Amino acid sequence: MIDVVFEDFVNYKKPSMVIEFPYCTFKCNHECGKNICQNYQLKDSEVLELEPDDLISEYSKDPVTEAVVMQGLEPFDSMDDVIIFIDRFRGSFDDDIVIYTGYNENEIDVSSLKKYKNITVKYGRYIPGQTPHFDKELGVMLYSDNQYSKRIS
């Protein structure tokens, strides 16, 4: 993890704790042929060894937050850490978990997450120059036509 925002109001329809992950292969840039990733500068950020239990403890003390969002760089390039956190979090909370990935649905196996309740994945590369659309499940705008959310559990 490279950062945590304990109260975020822009990435999901509910107030959320946002966890930012440190790695990505920058597939959106490679496919586009130029540097269009808006998170690219995060690649130089210090990687923090944050303990899931410490984050969950902070979450439990916050009366505002009702969900957890995992986002860029690419959470699924740190799949072990994603699973460890969710497993620990589900020990105390059934609150919504949202994972923002740049992978397409057919590129990533999320079967190991389906045993946990209330998980939604936002799929798809960022492709610039398209018309944003509102995603009802997330309650936010998505910026490329190919991007959508899907509840997986």
Site residues, ligand SF4 (CB under 6 A): 24, 26-29, 37, 39, 72-74, 102, 125-126
In the chain, beta strands by DSSP E = 3-8, 16-20, 67-71, 96-100, 119-123, 133-135, 140-142, 148-151
In the complex, least distance from residue 90 CB atom to ligand SF4, rounded to whole angstroms: 25
In the complex, least distance from residue 98 CB atom to ligand SF4, rounded to whole angstroms: 14
For 77, half-sphere exposure in the C-beta direction (CA atoms, 13 angstrom radius) is 17
Nearer to ligand SF4 (CB atom), residue 41 or residue 131: 41
| Rounded Cα–Cα distance for residues 87 and 145 (Å) | 32
In the complex, least distance from residue 45 CB atom to ligand SF4, rounded to whole angstroms: 12
In the complex, least distance from residue 107 CB atom to ligand SF4, rounded to whole angstroms: 11
Residue sitting closest to ligand SF4 (CB): 102
Nearer to ligand SF4 (CB atom), residue 43 or residue 117: 43
Cα-Cα end-to-end distance for the chain: 24
